Amino acid sequence: MSEVERLLADALRPIEPPERLSGRVEDTLTAVTAAAAEELSDWAEELSESELHSLRDPRNWVRPVVAVGVGGVATGALVLLEARRRGRQQASGRLRTLTERIR
């Protein structure tokens, strides 16, 4: 390693991100995930209503049951994620803007 390379290695040390950044990015990603779960939950509800009439046909049972299960999981995930997000006590206005931007 030349002298210049040694100096570069000394000057360009990795920089530790501030603690708050980790929480901030995680919160944003959590908000995005929650929004996706909410969409999924809405979709499952619509599906169960629109296909109620077909539930009498055993050939159609698998799909609605899976959809309701998915809705339950997604809703549960949404509740957990929301609780986690609130626990961090971060301002959410900015996150919503970011979430809207990438949806």
Partner 1 sequence: MSEDKKENVEPASLDPEAKAELDRAFEDLYRTHLRDIYSYAYYRVGNQHDAEDLTEQAFLQAYRHFDRARRESNGRPLRPWLIRITHNLASNYYRDRSRRPQTPLDSTGPIAARHGTEAIAEGREELRQVIEHLDKLPDDRREALIMRFALGMDNREIARALGRTDGATKVLIHRAIKQLQEEMSDE
Element (H, E) at 60: none
Unique residue bearing structure tokens 């296909």: 51
* 56 to 43, 51, 53, 69, 70: CA distances (angstroms): 21, 10, 7, 18, 20
**Among 48, 68, 70, 82, contact with partner 1 (rule: CB under 8 A):** 70
Q: Considering beta carbons, is residue 53 or 81 the nearer one to partner 1?
A: 81
Kindly identify the residues of this chain, within the stretch 23-62, that bind partner 1 according to CB under 8 A: 24-26, 28-29, 32-33, 35-36, 39-40
Q: Considering beta carbons, is residue 36 or 47 the nearer one to partner 1?
A: 36
Q: Considering beta carbons, is residue 55 or 66 the nearer one to partner 1?
A: 66
